[in-house]
Structure 1
Amino acid sequence: MTRKLAVCAEMVFTELPLEQRAVALNEAGFEVELWDTAGKDLAALERTGARFGSMSGYSDGSLCDPDTAHRVVETARELIPTAQRLGITRLVVHPAQLINGQAAVPRYRSTGDMWLTAAKTLEKLGELGEEHGVSFLLENLNTIVDHPGIPLARAKDTLSLVEAVGHPKVKMMLDLYHAQIGEGNLIDLLDRALPHIGEVQVADVPGRCEPGTGEVNYRSVASALARLGYEGPVGLEAYASGDSSEAVQAFRSAFEPWTDSQA
């Protein structure tokens, strides 16, 4: 099995139109990931011939809010044809609604009602994913730097929710950038979460740039993924600290202990 590296096109080669970013990443051998598809030229993206890996799986509502959770499922259903058009099978959801990256309704305490609502909503997404051949990936977030006011955001919370739901089409989008800021102990986290991971995302800390620009030893993380036998994708969701070509190559180099190992 070929181990896949993906790169978020929203954050690198930003001087180029999105379609040209997709071409550049595809030619470099990466899967292309999108934050969302709202307002994007889908026909132009299709013409790039790129392999698209993931996108946002909903456009409204909050997973853990009893008043708006139904909108997560409704808009997920509406977005599935777009995902299928681009060949995307990994749809990303968050513990609560984000607007321009910030909490739509900041909540600084998680309640039992939030937990139950989130679990029930994820179960419905799992059923939807099974019906249409896609997976929904619940992403952990940090509430210290980037996303204050998001409940149930820590990796241990998202892991608990995915475990509780127990559906094969509901997995974790384990973002190690967010986990490093909020929790640390990344290799132990990978070990604990392994059966439930649908994708691992990475960026260095601080700065959210490519591996090698901060404090995380991503070659050690890559070696741990090889030891654990992880076979899902690893995605770079990071800004380039300088030249984008050099940034994505630094990502590729950091994960050689994983990509070059045999399952």
Structure 2
Amino acid sequence: MSFDLAVCAEMVFTELPLLDRVRRIDELGFAVEIWSWHDKDLDALAATGARFSSMTGYLRGDLIDPDTADDVVRTAEDSLKAAETLGIPRLNLHTAELVDGQAARPRQRATGRMWLTAQRALERIGELGAAAGVTFCLENLNTIVDHPGVPLARAKDTLALVEGVGHPNVKMMLDLYHAQIGEGNLVELVRRCAGAIGEVQVADVPGRCEPGTGEIHYPVVAKALRDIDYRGTVGMEAFASGDSAVALAAFRSAFS
């Protein structure tokens, strides 16, 4: 059983303009992931003919904050229109807004109010996704290295939120790079998250480069995904340690 492999255009072939990165990834046989959409020429991206797998599904706001959760929902609706232009089936969410990778409004502890606010917002977003035929995926993050100050960011938290919402159009963006830094035990995590996974993202630790450059033995993780009968997308959201084409080949090898 093979996976649908995707590559984040924000992180490889960085010597090229974005449109050329997209074309190169497509030429090598991968689907394409992007981050934000509001600062990009969507029509030009669509004209490349590439197949896009996911992108960010909101512009502002914190899912966990009653004062800004409505902003997440409103901009999720805007993101659906952008997703239609590119034919994107999955939109990515975080529990809190990120600005240059950092929490826009850092918080050091989670509260019951945060859980309830996020759940209610995700229920509304799930209905938007159902109407558009798009799945919103809540991504787990690490707060040790990359995203300090983001509450409810661990995989066990995002899993609890997704299971609590119980909506078919709200799933996990299971990021195994972040999970390795914050939690580890990746094979068991894959098993635990089985029914909640909308997409899997990978990079090695440390360094956030392609599989094979760090401590994670991704062929074993790939077997765990096959064992739970996961048939979806695995996206390389990683930098290339050297030549980008070589990095993509290593990624393909780890999941083939």
Q: TM-score normalised to the size of structure 1?
A: 0.96
1:249 maps to what in 2? 249
Q: Aligned residue for 1:213?
A: 213
Structure 1 residue 145, shift from structure 2 partner: 0.2
CA distance in 2, matches of 1:88, 1:33: 9
- Unaligned runs of 5+ residues in structure 1 are 257-263
Q: Specify the alignment match of 1:199 in structure 2.
A: 199
C-alpha distance in structure 1 between counterparts of 2:169 and 2:242, whole Å: 37
Which stretch of structure 1 is more off in the superposition, 224-233 or 201-210? 224-233
Tell me, in whole angstroms, the C-alpha distance in 1 between the residues paired with 2:44 and 2:183: 40
- For the aligned residue pairs, the C-alpha RMSD in angstroms reads 0.9
Give the structure 1 partner of residue 63 of structure 2.
63
* C-alpha distance in 1 between matches for 2:174 and 2:162: 11
2:138 aligned partner: 138
Q: Deviations over 1:171-199 (max 9, x none)?
A: 00000000000000000000010100000
Match of 2:96 in 1: 96
Equivalent residue letter for 1:239: F
Aligned to 2:240: 240
Separation in 1 of the partners of 2:159 and 2:51? 28
**Which residue type is aligned with residue 7 of structure 1?**
V
Counterpart for residue 43 of structure 2: 43
Residues 3, 255 of structure 2: 8 Å contact kept? no
Aligned residue identity for 2:26: N
**Counterpart AA for 2:175:** D
Superposed displacement of residue 232, structure 1: 1.1
SS at match of 2:253: helix
Taking only the aligned residue pairs, the percentage that are identical comes to 66
Q: Give deviations 1:196-255, integer Å, cap 9, x for gaps.
A: 000010000000000010000001111111122111100000000000000011000011
Partner residue, 1:124: 124
Corresponding residue SS for 1:195: helix
1:251 and 1:62 mapped to 2: Cα distance?
Answer: 33
Shift of 1:2: 5.9
The answer for the alignment partner of 1:174 in structure 2 is 174
SS at match of 1:63: coil
Deviation of 1:10 (Å): 0.2
One-letter code aligned to 1:208: R
Gaps of 5+ in 2: none
